[in-house]
Structure 1
């Protein structure tokens, strides 16, 4: 459905001479990706309002989306599989957060392990991405810098004693990124 709408919009843009005909395929792809991302993020934000977890969710999304963009990891085969897995995972995050707060030593241990894994692996080169050697090197470097930055933010948040739910959501974002990288490695979703 999203693809049909994107094709129609880009087709109209081509008819109106807003884009060149040879660029249509790229515009369709870009529009599909943006639409799917906004559907997913919009759904998560909507659920966060229902669960009264809007601010912690913003921390989670900020940490997770920035890191995931650079680290890669497991990818589902279709948008709808990805969407359902993402929504279910987000709901699990909201239910795991109080457990993580109650078991803070375990949480911190998992974060340390996750940070080390991300620092070692850097980036998963998924077949859909198919990065060349230079792109992969740059992506790994960016992932390592970002995990260092996010670790410092998390550590500062702990020292400043900000609300525990924010800390648990940020922690879960890092842990989830590392877990998705491990799943991709196990399923051999890399080139």
Structure 2
């Protein structure tokens, strides 16, 4: 269904714009990714409405989606599995963040933030064998991911040390950890091959 919709969008684009036929697969893939991402984001926002915590979804999407855009990481083999995985990751982040809120422990929060940031900074970006990118794009993504994660770690660490309410820092901290885990998985898969 998603691929049919992406094909429909691509056909519509080509009917209205004079574009190179060689770029057709690129546009279709772009529409597939965009539609998949929007469906996941909408679903996460819908789940957060049921949880009565829209802020958690916004914080998760802000950290998880934008950082993974440049840092990369594990990719599910199908769009359906990606949808399920992304929603599951959000639910796990939400539940673990509730533990942080309950215990309000500064040291584990700082350790998790710094460790996650170090992993993301070191491994960014993870190369996807199915969708290779040029060396120039790789370097650009690495620089952006490293800048983003450095800023996020600095802000989160500062907020933790300033004793900011864990309601606002727990989801970003655990989201950062989720990105790090999603980057470790392909590294472990490489070793087992």
Q: TM-score w.r.t. structure 2 length?
A: 0.87
When residues 163 and 19 of structure 1 are mapped into structure 2, their CA distance, relative to the original with a 3 A threshold, is farther
RMSD: 2.0
Q: For residues 68-95 of structure 1, what are the alpha-carbon distances to aligned partners after superposition, in whole Å with 9 as ceiling and x for unaligned? A: 1111111110001111111111111111
Provide closer, same or farther for how the CA distance between residues 19 and 43 of structure 1 changes in structure 2, counting only shifts above 3 A.
farther
Aligned to 2:71: 71
Name the SS of the counterpart of 2:190 in structure 1: coil
Choose which of 168, 182, 185 in structure 2 pairs with 1:183. Answer: 185
Q: Deviations over 1:42-101 (max 9, x none)?
A: 000010111011112211211112211111111110001111111111111111112123
Question: 2:145 matched to which residue of 1?
Answer: 143
Deviation at 1:108, TM superposition (A): 2.2
Deviations 1:147-177, CA, capped at 9 Å, x for gaps: 1111122133334544312201010111111
Residue 164 of structure 1 is matched in structure 2 by: 166
The structure-2 alpha-carbon separation of the partners of 1:144 and 1:20, relative to structure 1 and needing over 3 Å to count, comes to closer
Count of aligned pairs: 188
Distance 1:45 1:7, change over 3 A: same
Take 1:128 and 1:119, find their aligned partners in 2: how far apart are those partners?
23
CA distance in 1, matches of 2:130, 2:167: 35
Name 1:2's counterpart in structure 2.
Answer: 2
TM-score (norm 1): 0.88
Relative contact order (alpha carbons < 8 A, sep ≥ 6): 1 or 2 greater? 1
